[in-house]
A = this chain, B = another copy of it.
Amino acid sequence: MTPTLYWKDGFVEMLDQTRLPTAVVYQTCKDADTVARGIKELWVRGAPAIGVAAAMGMALGAQGLPEGREFQQGLERIGAMLISQRPTAVNLAWAVRRMQAFARSLEGQPVAAVKAAMVAESQRMLEEDAAICRAIGKAGAHLLPDGGVLTHCNAGALATGGYGTALGVIRAAVEAGRALAVFADETRPVLQGARLTAWELMQDGIDVTLITDNMAAHTMKCGRIHAVVVGADRIAKNGDAANKIGTYGVAILAREHGIPFYVAAPLSTVDFSMASGAEIPIEERDGREITHVFGTTQIAPDGCKTFNPAFDVTPAKYIRAIITERGAVAPADLHRLQDPDLDATPWLVK
């Protein structure tokens, strides 16, 4: 398994995912600014992995801060800087706030101890995330029948602390003996499906076939897709789910072909403060992502206008179930997962 990011000698080693699949290169992040750059420039991407990266960025940034009031103020400043890198994934702000609250909870302890504890806490978040992904996989594996499964973008080990959300469900189903043929949308413009999902599944020996995004409808019509499972960057309280651009279209196509559409995500991706997906901010990125593949191969005329939204929102009505570490639920039941003391859960999607 190629780790997405890890601590080494007091610094954060971050897999530069923009170089995959033809090169495995790590960037050494010695400060929070470099982590921020990695988030902005997509060395690391995927809502859960961005959250872990931000936590590590907070811990890195803490190392250079002085004692006293300036310590908490510094964490505020670094957190705001990290959060400003990308607007859509809620895990980014969630992780920053968790690290800030953690540091506040240690107030009064020697600053060196707080700094060391923050490093350990960010490492714990990485491990927690991988464990949550395994729980998501377990909660969703039974939903995938033998046959074709379509996924969009990369919600895999590379997008998380390990194992993956959507790909976690796929991995768990394969581990449970299911015979799956995965179809991966290439996911333009940044090609996370071609570069990351295909690569990750091939490394695990899971059967995967790459298609361009616009082939999904025809592949469904050919009867080769029996379920769709994707990740999410932010889910509103009503179950509307923001995910990589193109997800909304896939959801419509799935419904038109009578194919169940699942969203797999940790509860940290659910923003219970947002009533619906209409409130989720959608990041627009530089049009050069569209006009130049990998920033170099020009595919469009000079000066061509573009529209480059990085995400879209899939309304809850298209989603059969949201698969979380606490079980798979219909979007209408998502709010029930706020209750920390679940016991009877007759509403779980079996």
Contact = CB atoms under 8 A, between A and B. Distances in A.
Interface of A: 21-22, 152, 183, 185-189, 191, 194-195, 198-199, 202, 207-219, 221, 224, 245-246, 248-250, 252-253, 256, 282, 287, 290-291, 293-294, 296-309, 312
- Copies of this chain, how many? 2
Contacts of A245: 212, 214-215, 218
A250 B217 CA distance: 9
A328 to B, nearest CB: 25
A213 B211 contact: no
Contact of A301 (B198, B256, B300): B198
A21 B301 contact: yes
B189 A291 contact: no
Given A188-B186, A252-B217, A290 B212 contact: yes
Question: Chain A contact residues: over half helix, strand or loop, or mixed?
Answer: mixed
Given A21-B301, A297-B294, A212 B195 contact: no
A246 B304 contact: no
A277 B202 CA distance: 35
Contacts of A221: 248, 312
A299 B194 contact: yes
B215 A299 contact: no
Contact of A253 (B185, B252, B293, B303): B252
A206 to B, nearest CB: 11
A152 B212 CA distance: 14
Given A214-B249, A215-B307, A218-B282, 18 more contacts: A21-B300, A21-B302, A152-B214, A185-B214, A186-B299, A186-B300, A198-B300, A202-B303, A209-B305, A210-B291, A210-B300, A211-B290, A212-B246, A214-B250, A215-B245, A249-B253, A252-B252, A293-B293
A207 B306 CA distance: 11
A194 B22 CA distance: 25
B213 A188 contact: yes
